[in-house]
Amino acid sequence: MKSIAKLLALFMLAGLISGCAGMSNTEQRMLSGGAIGAGAGAAVGALSGGSGTTGAVIGGAAGVVGGVIVDQIEKERGRR
């Protein structure tokens, strides 16, 4: 049973990695910001005695917004 779970996890990881190949800089920043925000929000929510799920949703949304802001700043600086 463990080998099936590992194989499934490997296929899911490969799908996620290949799905990010054609993303623009904006999309990459939004995705990474959302992932980091969701992880941090879940941790803070769980550690503070609240809901880890609620923290993940709020943190993920804030991370996506942060990724867009960082992207706009980078575009204004002329970096791509």
pLDDT of residue 69: 92
Contacts of 41 (CB under 8 A, 6+ apart): 55, 56, 57, 58, 59, 60, 62, 63
pLDDT in tens for each of the 80 residues of the chain? 567 777 777 777 776 666 667 788 888 888 888 888 888 888 888 888 888 888 888 888 999 999 999 999 988 888 65
pLDDT at 7: 76
**Residue 20 has what pLDDT?**
67
Contact status, residue 43 vs residue 55, Cβ threshold 8 Å: yes
**What pLDDT shows up at residue 14?**
73
| Paired tokens of 75 | 């575009």
